[in-house]
Chains A and B, each alone.
Chain A
Amino acid sequence: MPKIEFSRRSLLKAGAAGLAAATLPAGLARAQGSVVIGSVYVGPRADFGWNQAHAMAMDIIKGVPGVTVIEEENVPETDAVAQTMESMINLDGANVILGTSFGYFEPFMVDLAARYPDVQFRHAAPLWSADKHPANLGSYFCYLNQAHYVNGVAAGLSSASGKIGFVAAKPIPSVLSNINSVLLGARSVNPNATVQLIFTGDWSMPVREAEAANALVDAGCDVITCHVDGPKVVIETAEARGVKSCGHNASQAALAPNGFITGAEYKWETIYRLYADNFAKGEALPNVVVGGYHNDMVQNTAFGAGATPEAIAAAEAAIEGLKAGKPIYVGPLNDNAGNLVIEGEKDNYDPELDGMNYLLDGVVGSIT
């Protein structure tokens, strides 16, 4: 039976460490002064999506001598996560905790950080602020909306109708920012482009995602993209319907040999490599590590058959612009209810954008 490579490797390592630790009294591992990292995932590590992206990047940390990584998957965003993390600290001697799901932050990781000041906590969303949260807590995040902006540019020039379909899970800021960035990218090359939006209401609803993709195609969209945990179903449905598609999370190019344009990919490995360096040198972890195109934390999938030559050229130019710090959100911009939401030019890392709660004019959809 084929087995996914990363899990076999980690099986050997963590299995051996686990057997050794199981025979020791709880908490002894910490006394040895080594780094034990507890990594917590909201879904299965092999989900071909968000969790897998983290789990694979975690392999880089596993390669650092003296560092043990313990992992737990399918931990829901309830107090189960607090119990898991506490258990990692108390029973496995973890002294670094990485929480990879949005909902882990408040109240769970904030409370735990206060209760365990000797343990370092890092959370994968731009939520930490020095004046509100404990000093042994921090954030790391890749601003994927920059890569979605590039998706939008390429989609805008690859679409005949100018209607881009977007299948989204939930109306939270990071999702809304991706949707709005696709729109702004598309409008930068085609001022009449629109984004037609469908919310499925949850992170993993394969049947509804397929229905949504079909409904968008039926409504006249000829490029489909998405922000759900596992984009496989959306991309495959789009390909089966003969329309083009843009990916999300990881590379889906192989799923759509005819219609794939490009995709937005996280590069968590950049962050985890930085952490690994810190561990190797025995340095403290920085509180905040965020980034996008300028510091190699996001990328776009290699262009597929669905991308026109003009689209490729424009998208590459857009990438260069982002690397140079060219802002995506340039006011005045109205939301799709007619309110002015962005006045001037916003830096791509402006904290105000982290609280985005609107859809820009040109997005057909509603957040309630």
Chain B
Amino acid sequence: MDAFADTALFTLLVAMLGGAIRVSTPFMFVALGECLTEKSGRINLGLEGNLVLGAMIAYAISFHTGSPWTGVLAAGLSGLFLGAIHGYVCKLPRVNDIAVGIAMMAFGTGLAFYLGKPYIQPSAPRLEAIPLGEWTGIPSLAQALAINPLFFVGIALAVGMSWFFRNTRMGLVVRTTGDSAPAAKAMGVSVDLVRFLATAAGGFLAGVGGSFLSLSYPGSWNEGLSSGQGLMAVALVIFARWDPIRCVWAALLFGAAGAIGPAMQAIGVTQGFYFFNAAPYILTLLIMASSARSRFSGRDAPGELSIVK
């Protein structure tokens, strides 16, 4: 074991494992939030704004109250606020949800940058990780296995959401609303209300995802913090074919692939670092292109979703 622990391959694998755990959580939360929203038949492309605003609010609140978990909650509420605006505006007839999402992205990030100026320099209390890898005796593995509670919350949420969609009446209502609005109306359901709630709740989750960025990993607030992770996470929902469990796998894959770039350079494979850094995107595209599907692959997609029609 010790001999293996010194090899480059081991370093790479540990980095990918650690990356999967460290980097995946915000992707997971945003993807789960978006999954909920899209299941109801609406798409919110603006969760990048929720993620960034959530990160900033969480940091600020943690800084002022000294309690990072209060920050997480506040981040969720800020995301709920943005999601509710999106949900309300898109309820109006003829308003396009994709476009409003992009506009909300500008609004959310603008608000976060505006309010966040004073918090770039100070250090706020962060979420403590649970050290699950001490027993290994290998520092790098111990670090990779120091896991933030939000990671487990995210996984539990995915399992719960999957169960919710399959086994509860509410889940059925959301799915029906997403698959066929006339059918939902026939059930006596208010399509607008369901979508509004699903968008607001999805926004809440994305805000929580942002709190992970600023309070856990990388654990700091600045304006470049997200650099597009929210947008990518929304795309991952399509990749995960609207399944909460697959959203988790997609987030883990994306996190692990993101660790390839730095880790390859750390073990001395340095040529072409731009491509290693782009590994998550290349891998995702290859996987999508190679899993051949029928011409109109609407089988998994909510039927009301504008993006897959």
Contacts and interface: CB of A to CB of B under 8 A. Distances in A.
A–B proximity contact (CB within 8 A): yes
A210 B265 contact: no
Interface of A: 1-4, 7, 43-44, 46-48, 165, 196-212, 214-219, 229-230, 232-233, 236-237, 240-241, 254-255, 364-366, 368
Contacts of A229: 224
Interface stretch (B15-23, B195-203, B294-302): B15-23
A206 B222 contact: yes
Interface in B253-300: 258-259, 261-263, 265-268, 270-274, 277
Contact of B265 (A240, A254, A365): A365
A214 B18 contact: yes
B223 interface: yes
B120 A207 contact: no
Contact of B218 (A203, A210, A255): A210
Interface residues of B, number: 42
A240 B143 CA distance: 10
Contacts of B67: none
A218 B277 contact: no
B229 A207 contact: yes
Q: Helix, strand, loop or mixed for chain A's interface?
A: mixed
10 contacts: A43-B223, A46-B120, A48-B222, A198-B262, A212-B262, A215-B15, A216-B266, A218-B11, A366-B270, A368-B273
B136 interface: no
B229 A47 contact: no
B23 A207 contact: yes
B251 to A, nearest CB: 13
B113 interface: yes
A230 B222 contact: yes
A209 B220 CA distance: 12
Given A207-B258, A215-B265, A232-B222, A48 B120 contact: yes
Given A46-B120, A48-B120, A199-B273, A204 B266 contact: no
Given A48-B222, A216-B266, A241 B277 contact: no
B168 interface: no
Contacts of A165: 266
B266 A198 contact: yes
B218 A199 contact: no
Interface in B53-79: none
B121 A4 contact: yes
A219 B266 contact: yes
A44 B119 CA distance: 13
Contacts of A216: 262, 266
Interface of B: 11, 14-15, 18-19, 22-23, 113, 117-118, 120-123, 140, 143, 213, 217-220, 222-225, 227, 229, 258-259, 261-263, 265-268, 270-274, 277
A218 B264 CA distance: 12
A215 B263 contact: yes
Given A200-B277, A210-B218, A218-B140, 13 more contacts: A1-B118, A43-B223, A44-B120, A46-B118, A211-B262, A212-B265, A215-B11, A215-B266, A218-B15, A219-B267, A230-B224, A254-B123, A368-B272
Nearest to B117: A46
A232 B223 CA distance: 13
A352 to B, nearest CB: 25
Contacts of A212: 262, 265-266
B220 A218 contact: no
Contacts of B225: 206-207
Nearest to B118: A2
A256 to B, nearest CB: 11
Given A206-B225, A232-B220, A215 B113 contact: no
A3 B267 CA distance: 43
Given A214-B18, A255-B123, A364 B268 contact: yes
Contact of A200 (B217, B262, B268): B262
B266 A196 contact: yes
